[in-house]
Amino acid sequence: MSPFRFSTSPLDTATLQRDVRDESCGGFASFEGWVRNHNEARQVTRLDYQAYGPLAEDEGEAILDEARSKFGLRAARCVHRTGSLAIGEMAVWVGVSADHRDAAFAACRWIIDEVKRRVPIWKNEHYADGESGWLHPDNTPADAAGQR
Amino acid sequence: MPERPPPEQTIRVQYYALLREQAGRSDETLTTAARDPRELYAELRARYPFTLPPEMLRVAVNAEFGEWSQPLKSGDAVVFIPPVAGG
């Protein structure tokens, strides 16, 4: 299975973790990104994720390759959801295994930051008042002058 | 003699996120005289109410990050990439 991929169905962490297991590893770290019910003081009811498939997969693979050599990881995986997600659902999972915990912690943090910065994925927030809006990387509206 | 206009080419454009919402479609195939992505985006801005200036976008040609000034040829697939916000 490809180390970086998209999923249209809910993520199962037990299965994902099995993929990074390695007997030479003493440390495993993972990050889960969840859909929260608020942003910028507005009540959020759901999130829609869109990804530019082929380019996003290539960029995601490149990030995991870089992480493996930068931190000396044994394995690194990332799965990101696309489509419509409810509050509380897991939107992204990152898991890494390494010989020691320092590399695992640092790499996990680095990977999620790079994914958010580089991979062409977008989220559209839907609000309790019926409005919706695409977000910038800092979680502010992408279209401040537009419909909002 | 007047300069010849650039030849028209067939370009496929895909839209994501805010650009998809503002274009009201996810993709289209255009016949255009635009020579590079910069000219193509200018042409599309005249047609659709795009609010994102080109400085805020990146461009991909045939599923690879590209340059605004790279020449386009018939059959190319172009994507204008709004600021990303995954996670």
Dump pLDDT digits (tens) for A113-131: 999 999 999 999 999 999 9
Domain extent listing, chain A: 4-35+53-121
Neighboring chain A residues of B52 at a CB cutoff of 8 Å? 142-143
CB contact under 8 A, B64 and A33: no
Between residues B6 and A109, the one the model is more confident about: A109
Closest chain B C-alpha to A112 CA, distance in angstroms: 7
Mean pLDDT on A25-31: 98
With contacts defined as CB-CB under 8 Å, which chain A residues touch B64?
Answer: 55, 58
Write out the two tokens for A24: 């030479």
Q: Which residues of A touch B83 (CB under 8 A)?
A: 136-137, 142
State the pLDDT at residue B73. Answer: 96
Q: What is the DSSP letter of A19?
A: H
pLDDT given at position A62:
98
Distance CA B65, CA B9 (A): 21
Nearest chain B CA: its distance from A55 CA (Å): 5
pLDDT tens-digit series, residues A42-64: 999 999 999 999 999 999 999 99
Its pTM stands at 0.91
Domain boundaries along the sequence of chain B: 9-81
Question: Using CB atoms, which residue from B14, B16, B79 is nearest to A122?
Answer: B16
CA distance B9 to chain A (A): 24
CB B78 within 8 A of CB B59: yes
Instruction: Tell me which chain B residues have a C-beta less than 8 angstroms from the C-beta of A91.
Output: 87
Backbone angles phi, psi at B26, to 5 degrees: -100, -20
Instruction: Say yes or no: domain A4-35+53-121 is CATH 3.90.1170.40.
Output: yes
When CB atoms are compared, the residue of B22, B63, B87 closest to A91 is B87
Reduced DSSP (H G I as helix, E B as strand, rest coil) percent helix, strand, coil of chain A, to 5: 30, 40, 30
**From the candidates B12, B55, B84, which should be mutated to test the interface with A, based on the most A CB atoms within 10 A?**
B84
Structure tokens at A110: 């680095």
pLDDT of the residue at A140:
81
Determine how β-strand B9-14 pairs with β-strand B77-81.
parallel
Q: What is the CATH number of domain B9-81?
A: 3.10.20.30
**CB pair distance less than 8 Å for A122 and B51:** no
Contact B38, B71 (CB under 8 A): no
